[in-house]
């Protein structure tokens, strides 16, 4: 006990102050993309040809964050003349179409369903399902339980049983072999329930887009309430999405 108290005194308070204060992220982090409005069509086409995810809409000069894996290729080859990735991690949306953006995103709090806030505002229990994920999105969800993020202080927890949960958090491209297990888990959650799609793979199929072995978008099989883009989404992106949409 004395050693525990000694360590606590030496280490001090380690939990981040978010959402009261917005912490700085690592300089190389790529968050919300900003499209340069005066970019030439030739430059847009060059970036679109190089994009491994086909995430650039040439006609609209926008980026689909649901497909984007934030590799930064378009920023590098255009030297920032087409797009610049900012350090803004607050990029979740309640509508999939809003992920196609030139940098502007609707205020998530204004688009959240108010009955969710009434139902789950003080306690939100979630069941996480990795539907053939690579473990990147899963790892950045798991880290929310560490003392630095301390998700439980907001009344949000991940639980072992879907019967004890208020919703489901899905990661991975939803492979053919995981689809039945996912749907069974969803059915086991009592109504009313929420569905959260985390990561590019879950939202659109990610790098596996076009494969017959995966589901190209969770919203094609389940009603999705919250989309959290990224590959993987930063833990603060997940935290912002949950706090803003439900609290």
* pLDDT tens digits along 40-64: 999 999 999 999 999 999 999 999 9
Burial class (CB in 10 A: 0-12, 13-18, 19+), 81: middle
The model's confidence at residue 171, banded by pLDDT at 50, 70 and 90, is very high
Burial class (CB in 10 A: 0-12, 13-18, 19+), 151: buried
3-state helix, strand, coil in the chain (%, to 5): 40, 15, 45
pLDDT at 6: 75
Q: What percent of the chain has pLDDT over 90?
A: 77
User: What's the start-to-end Cα distance of the chain, in Å?
Assistant: 36
pLDDT at 89: 96
What string of DSSP letters covers 178-211? HHHHHHHHHHHSPSS-EEEEESHHHHH-GGGTT-
pLDDT at 68: 96
Q: Where are the domains of the chain?
A: 109-246
Q: Which residue bears the tokens 């650039």?
A: 56
- pLDDT tops 70 at residue 114: no
The model's confidence at residue 37, banded by pLDDT at 50, 70 and 90, is confident
The mean pLDDT of 185-213, rounded to a whole number, is 95
pLDDT at 145: 93
pLDDT tens digits, 228-239: 999 999 999 999
Burial class (CB in 10 A: 0-12, 13-18, 19+), 27: exposed
Sign of CA dihedral 205, 130, 234, 163: positive
80-84, 119-123, 217-221, 240-244: range with lowest mean pLDDT: 119-123
44-53, 93-102, 113-122, 150-159: range with lowest mean pLDDT: 113-122
pLDDT at 113: 66
The model's confidence at residue 86, banded by pLDDT at 50, 70 and 90, is very high
- pLDDT tops 90 at residue 4: no
- pLDDT tops 70 at residue 121: no
Q: What does pLDDT average to over the chain?
A: 92
CATH 3.40.50.12280 fits 109-246, yes or no: yes
pLDDT at 107: 87
CA distance 98 to 78: 24
Q: What values do phi and psi take at 115, rounded to 5?
A: -70, -25
């Amino acid at each position: 006990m004395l050693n525990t108290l000694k360590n606590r005194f030496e280490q001090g308070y380690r939990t981040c102050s978010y959402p009261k204060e917005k912490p700085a992220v690592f300089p190389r982090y790529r968050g919300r993309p900003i499209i340069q409005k005066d970019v030439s069509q030739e430059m847009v086409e060059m970036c679109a040809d190089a994009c491994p995810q086909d995430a650039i809409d040439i006609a609209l000069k926008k980026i689909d964050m649901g497909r984007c894996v934030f590799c930064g290729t378009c920023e590098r080859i255009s030297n920032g003349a087409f797009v610049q990735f900012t350090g803004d991690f607050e990029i979740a949306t309640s509508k999939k179409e809003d992920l196609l953006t030139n940098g502007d995103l609707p205020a998530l709090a204004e688009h959240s369903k108010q009955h969710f806030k009434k139902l789950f505002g003080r306690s939100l229990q979630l069941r996480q399902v990795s539907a053939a994920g690579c473990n990147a999105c899963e790892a950045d969800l798991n880290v929310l339980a560490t003392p630095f993020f301390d998700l439980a202080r907001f009344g949000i927890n991940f639980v072992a049983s879907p019967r004890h949960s208020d919703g489901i958090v899905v990661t991975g491209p939803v492979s053919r072999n995981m689809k039945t297990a996912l749907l069974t888990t969803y059915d086991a959650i009592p109504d009313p329930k929420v569905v959260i799609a985390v990561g590019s793979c879950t939202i659109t199929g990610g790098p596996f887009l076009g494969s017959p072995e995966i589901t190209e978008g969770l919203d094609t099989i389940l009603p999705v309430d919250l989309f959290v883009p990224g590959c993987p989404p930063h833990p603060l992106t997940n935290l912002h999405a949950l706090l803003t949409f439900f609290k």
